[in-house]
Chains A and B, each alone.
Chain A
């Protein structure tokens, strides 16, 4: 996981997600009406417009949809963490999220590759997840 980046201020819509990360859990909203999971967090279901959303825990498994390998430090904190792979994972829950891909060389990442979620245990500040190749015994960086 990357260190030192600006973190958002949680609000009423997103606090359960950020609190979940602190506990090492990925929390998503699922619509009571249509059953669709939605992302990013919000007050209404993006699929059906329903306003009864329940927070549920995701296992965080999915497949790689897209990614870039960042080679330039856009903030000073990133300078000694290059290169890193940031991209999009399609979760089994039916949402697409931004994540970092770790536990493999950047040139080993492929579209459709199965990945699993890992939470950083040692991190100071807000805990975050990353994704590693499925079945990998390698943790995050």
Chain B
């Protein structure tokens, strides 16, 4: 996967957690997702559509998800809190939305978030594209951001935009 599409996610992860969760996140080297990947307890999924299709998945253990959701929302949150999924989903929404602004020349839309809660689950993604995992660590613990995407349409250049009068 082109670094032009990975670096925006790295910058976005740091920005979202620093600004909204008051938590600095250290991002490790992105790796291709292994077939025997780590199971997670909470997943927050955002779909990408338009010039780029795929999905972004934030994967957490219960403990880390609850800590991050609590700090983000400013109230103590456990898995059964009415707003737990809302908070975790909004974090994924901001990570994906903030990253896509840097997909220069592409018109990309994001879906509403879906949150999956279940001890030790895996999220299956597109098999036709590389699935990258960005390992993240924070004071609340470690979590992963997984990206699977396919560029369906080449980016529009600045010249093309000017000619089209956009």
Binding between chains A and B: no
